[in-house]
C-alpha cells in the first residue's frame, strides 16, 4: 500500500478511508495529504445499518482534528438504503463543530 500512497502523493490524489474497510490499510485516508476522504457504508449491513455512537464520535473527532491541522475533509455516509445516513451525518456534524 505504501507504493500506491507514494504514487498518489506525487499526483495529489487522495485515497479513501472506507468503513467497513475492504483492506486493512483502508481504515484511514491515504495518498495526498491535502484531502482526507471518508466513505462510510454502515455496519454490520452495508448501505442499511446505522453507525454506532462510538463510531460517529470517532469520525467527528478525526474530521475536526484534520480540519484543525489544515487538511480539507470530505465525508460521505453511504448507508442510505433505510435512511440511516441522515441521522448519522447530523450527529457527526454536531460533534465536529
Q: What is the distance of C-alpha 60 from the center of its chain?
A: 9
List, for residues 22-49, the tens digit of each pLDDT value: 888 898 999 999 999 999 999 889 999 9
Which pLDDT score, from 0 to 100, does residue 25 have?
84
Which pLDDT score, from 0 to 100, does residue 79 have?
97
CB 59 within 8 A of CB 77: no
Q: How many CA atoms lie within 13 A of 6 on its CB side?
A: 3
Cα–Cα distances in angstroms (integers) from residue 88 to residues 21, 35, 64, 65, in the given order = 18, 21, 16, 19
Give the predicted TM-score (pTM) of the model. Answer: 0.88
List, for residues 13-26, the tens digit of each pLDDT value: 999 999 998 888 89
Amino acid at each position: 500500500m505504501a507504493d500506491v500512497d507514494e504514487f498518489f502523493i506525487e499526483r495529489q490524489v487522495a485515497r479513501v478511508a472506507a468503513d467497513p474497510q475492504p483492506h486493512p490499510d483502508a481504515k484511514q485516508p491515504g495518498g495526498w495529504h491535502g484531502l482526507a476522504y471518508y466513505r462510510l457504508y454502515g455496519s454490520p449491513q452495508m448501505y442499511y445499518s446505522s453507525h454506532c455512537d462510538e463510531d460517529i464520535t470517532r469520525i467527528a473527532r478525526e474530521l475536526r482534528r484534520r480540519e484543525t491541522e489544515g487538511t480539507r475533509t470530505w465525508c460521505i455516509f453511504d448507508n442510505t438504503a433505510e435512511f440511516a445516513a441522515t441521522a448519522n451525518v447530523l450527529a457527526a456534524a454536531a460533534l465536529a463543530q
